[in-house]
Structure formats: structure tokens, C-alpha cells
Amino acid sequence: MGILIKNGEIVTASERYIADILCERETITHIDRDIAPPKGMEVVDAKGKFVFPGFIDPHVHIYLPFMGTYAKDTYKTASQAALVGGTTTLIEMCAPSRKDDTLAGFELWMSQAVGKSACDFTFHMSVTKFDDQTEKQLREIVKRGISSFKIYLAYKGAFGVDDTELYRTLKLAKELGVIVTAHCENETLIAERQKELLAAGKIDPGQHHESRPPAVEAEGVHHLMTFAELTGAEAYIVHLSCKEALEQAIAARQRGVRVSVETLIQYLTLDKTCAEKPEFEGAKYVMSPPLRDKSNQPVLWNGLRDGLVQTVATDHCPFDFKTQKVMGKNDFTKIPNGIPSLEDRINLLYTYGVKTGKIDLHTFVNCASTQAAKTFDLFPRKGTIQPGADADLVVFDPNYRGKISAKTHQINVDYSVFEGWKIEGRPSVVTVRGQVVVRNGKFVGKHGHGKFLERKPGHF
Ligand code: URP
Ligand code: ZN
């Protein structure tokens, strides 16, 4: 059993060359020019195409009870969509609410994925409360192969922790060598501003960003950085959206705080005017932190280029427009937050980042695969192309031309914020641990082939 990928242009975070890749069972075993195909082995002709390491989305929601409803995807629909879009590993936020038992939550999230996912997966374990019992359970969850926590400074009462819990979580993380991913927005400021806006009759989706301006996010980042500085814990800021927040992260880094920054494909390509679209159309674009003024886009692209921003994720969060976003028709605070984009991240990043010259091919691979693998203890098994690595490969056709549409996407949601957007290039063949799961841009994989990736703290 195996596969030979011939004549492709291999691109990793640091190298670019033409060679053949021999994959035996689940692993890359040999890379060279002119490898003769072993008898009976499938050969994929990648001439004229790039071969990238399988992409990693380090921030997705698939199973998510949230704001009175449930996100629409299952591991079946989401993993299929991920693979068609070139993403071979998902890191989902395991997010039991404050009322739930943490270990039971972990087991519930696992049960949604095991035996169903077509791509590999792991979780960030959300810490939505912190007491003696939770601490014991977190230690057990780390033993079971989780090496990252998630904390929310927003969403008090559901996922959010108070400062004592934040401090204790970071101290535990430091002790265990676990990295803490964090949603950074000041909840009190949001709640007060929401009340003021609603009292003034401002109820439409365009008010969402008024309730959470950049200063709210920058305060959240500053807050987390203070706690990380005093505990020595390593932090990863999820979905950073704006210049003010990035400045706080950079300032902390300069004082010695170990912090990585993730932005999202949505912040790189969309802006707050989308959420101001009339007739409730703006609800499709409501997420937190909100879409920002367009002037933030070059800051984020340049941040990627210059290594100030490490990763690009999706925070994929699929809620239907017609039946779920509509819950906030008369009150923007009730619109389920999230913009689905799992399937489109790589094609958008390539088309609107690489093709426009904003980032080069190595930065593209680095921020969409390699950095996430390094930060979350998956490297070099994932995130690169070298003998011994998992045979997760994306044969990418740069000559493909197409358009994004909800009519053709694999995710289980009734709209796309990228409807009609052009893409230049797409994955034509994708493998997960040596199995072809996408051929000619179509899913041909098996649900259940995806494995839970056990991770140990102490990364690269
Ligand atoms: O709007 C968002 N981001 N929805 C998902 C929950 C979260 O904040 O990550
Ligand atoms: Zn999220």
C-alpha cells in the first residue's frame, strides 16, 4: 500500500524544489528525483502543480452549543469540507459551558469526532471554570493527549472565566507546559455598551461592532498579557482582528512574554461595512471580535509577512442565516456569532494573499500549516514534507479557476459570505496519512479514517 507523487514542486515553510514523494503506509518514506514506482503502487502526476504539507486549521468549532442553538456542522460535513479545501488536520475548541463537567465535556466532544471524521483532529480544552475538581480533570485530560487550553475573557456566564480562574489556569498551564489559547475581549465593556446601544434603539447587526470596538479587544489582550507575564505561561491569542490588539501583543513580546498571534481569513478579506448591509443581510457577518475597518487588513497581512502574526485560522462557526442568525432580528446581541469559512481558507489565502503578492509561498505554508504544527506539538509529524512525517499532502493546481458558492460548498450552512468570490488555484489531490481523500477536487475519502492526534506538552 502506498502512493508516489511525481514531479510536483514541493513547497514547505523553508524550501522549494521539484522532486517525487514516496509514501508507504501512512508515512513519507523517501523524497528524490526520478523515484521508480514500486510495482502496483498508485502514481499521482503532479507536474505543473505545487505539493504542500497538509494544512492545519488551529481554530474551528464543529460541535458547539452556543447562544441558544447549535452550530450546524458535524464531523462528517466539516471534515469533508476541510479536506476539499486542503485542510488535513483540525484543532477544535472543546467548549463545555461553565455549568458542565469538564471531563464529561471532553468525552462528549471526542465522541462527536471519533469514527466520524475523515481528517485528523485534536482539541484545545476550554477551561470555563476553575476549581479543585476541574483542576484534577484538566490534569487527566492532558494525560489523555491534550496540550493546549482555551480560555474566554468574553461570554461571561457561558464560557468566560473570572480573574482568579484565569490566574489559576495559567499557573496550571505553566506547571504542565501547556499553551493557553485565549479569546481576548473585555466582557464588562461589551455588556455595558450593548445595553446602551439597545436602550437607544440601535438593534441592527451593524451595531455589533459598535459594542466591541478595537479598544475592547486591545484591553483583553493587555489583560491576558499581564497574567501571562506574571505566571510565565505561554499564550496564543486567537482571532486577533486589529492593529490596537496586535500592538499590545507585540509590546508584551518585547517584555519577554511568550505569545503567538492568530488572525483569521475573514479579517484579512472582509471589513465591518459587510455587517452594515441592509435588510438584516449584515447578520451573516456577525462574529466576535467583529470585522474591523479595512485599514486593519494591511496591518494583518504585513504582520504575517514580517512574522508578527503567526497563524491564519477560520474560527469556523456555522449558523444558518434563515433559521439561526434570524434569532437576532430585533436585537443584534442575540445573533449567533460566527462566520463559516473552513472550506475556503486555503484557496482565499492563496488567491488574495500569494497571488496578490501580500505574502510569499513559504509564508503561506508557514501560517496555514507549519506554525500551527510547531505551536501545538504536532511538528514534524504534521506541518512539513520530510521522510518520517505523516503523508498528509496537498497537490495544488495553480491553474484552476473557480468561484465560491453556498450552492456547491460541503459545509452544512445555507450561505457563504464569499458567495461569487473568484479563486485562483485549489487542491486537486489531497492525502491523509497516505490515503487519497480528494481527487480532482472532489471528496473520495472515508468518514472514520481521521485519527485523534495525541499531543504531549513541550513543543518544538
Ligand atoms: O464569533 C465567533 N468567533 N464565534 C465563535 C465563538 C468564539 O468566539 O470563538
Ligand atoms: Zn472560536
Is there a contact between 154 and 194 (Cβ–Cβ < 8 Å)?
no
CA of 59 to the centre of ligand 2 (A): 6
Pairing of strands 422-432, 435-439: antiparallel
Q: 329: which 3 cell numbers? A: 432580528
Average of per-residue pLDDT across 293-306: 98
CA of 289 to the centre of ligand 2 (A): 10
CA of 286 to the centre of ligand 1 (A): 9
pLDDT tens digits, one per residue of 37-63: 999 999 999 999 999 999 999 999 999
User: CA 443 → CA 77, 83, 122, 327, 380, distances in Å?
Assistant: 11, 7, 21, 33, 26
Residue type present at position 227:
F
Residue 271 is predicted with a pLDDT of: 98
Q: Give the separation between CA 366 and CA 307, rounded to whole angstroms.
A: 10
Atom 5 (ligand 1) nearest CA: 338
Average of per-residue pLDDT across 300-310: 98
Residue 311 is predicted with a pLDDT of: 98
350, 351, 353, 359 alpha-carbon torsion, rounded to 10°: 50
Q: Give the separation between CA 176 and CA 152, rounded to whole angstroms.
A: 20
User: CA 15 → CA 11, 119, 215, 362, 385, distances in Å?
Assistant: 6, 25, 39, 8, 10
Per the listing, cell 481576548 goes with 184
Q: Looking at the CA of residue 59, tell me the nearest atom of ligand 1.
A: 9
The percent of residues in the chain predicted with pLDDT above 90, rounded, is: 98
CA of 317 to the centre of ligand 1 (A): 7
pLDDT of 321 strictly over 90:
yes
Q: How confident is the model at residue 362 (pLDDT cuts 50, 70, 90)?
A: very high
Q: Give the separation between CA 428 and CA 448, rounded to whole angstroms.
A: 22
Average of per-residue pLDDT across 324-345: 98
pLDDT of 460 strictly over 60:
no
Residue 298: CB atoms within 10 Å = 13
The residue whose CB lies within 8 Å of the most ligand 1 atoms, and thus the one to mutate among 184, 239, 263, is: 239
Q: Looking at the CA of residue 238, tell me the nearest atom of ligand 1.
A: 9
User: CA 243 → CA 247, 256, 296, distances in Å?
Assistant: 6, 20, 6
Per the listing, cell 492525502 goes with 431
Q: Give the separation between CA 250 and CA 81, rounded to whole angstroms.
A: 34
pLDDT of 1 strictly over 80:
no
With H, G, I as helix, E, B as strand and everything else as coil, classify residue 355: coil
Atom 7 (ligand 1) nearest CA: 288
Residue 308: CB atoms within 10 Å = 16
Find, among 447, 399, 442, 441, the residue nearest to 423 by Cα. Answer: 399
pLDDT tens digits, one per residue of 125-142: 999 999 999 999 999 999
Average of per-residue pLDDT across 148-155: 96
pLDDT tens digits, one per residue of 196-255: 999 999 999 999 999 999 999 999 999 999 999 999 999 999 999 999 999 999 999 999
The residue whose CB lies within 8 Å of the most ligand 1 atoms, and thus the one to mutate among 69, 287, 324, is: 287
CA of 40 to the centre of ligand 2 (A): 44
Q: In 219-313, at which residue ranges do the beta strands (DSSP E only) sit?
A: 235-237, 259-264, 311-313
The residue whose CB lies within 8 Å of the most ligand 1 atoms, and thus the one to mutate among 94, 317, 325, 334, is: 317
Q: Looking at the CA of residue 93, tell me the nearest atom of ligand 1.
A: 9
Is there a contact between 360 and 351 (Cβ–Cβ < 8 Å)?
no
On average, the pLDDT of the chain sits at: 97
Helices 102-113 and 132-143 meet at what angle, rounded to 10? 30
Per the listing, cell 481554530 goes with 59
Residue 156 is predicted with a pLDDT of: 83
Q: Give the separation between CA 28 and CA 381, rounded to whole angstroms.
A: 10
Q: Which ligand approaches the C-alpha of residue 220 most closely?
A: 1
Q: 145: which 3 cell numbers? A: 493527549
Q: How confident is the model at residue 459 (pLDDT cuts 50, 70, 90)?
A: low
With H, G, I as helix, E, B as strand and everything else as coil, classify residue 293: coil
Q: Which residues line ligand 1 (CB under 6 A)?
A: 61, 183, 239, 287-288, 315, 317, 337-338
Average of per-residue pLDDT across 157-165: 93
pLDDT of 452 strictly over 70:
yes
Q: List the Cα angle 322/325/326 in 5-degree steps.
A: 65
Find, among 451, 438, 450, the residue nearest to 347 by Cα. Answer: 438
CA of 244 to the centre of ligand 1 (A): 19
CA of 152 to the centre of ligand 1 (A): 10
Average of per-residue pLDDT across 311-320: 98
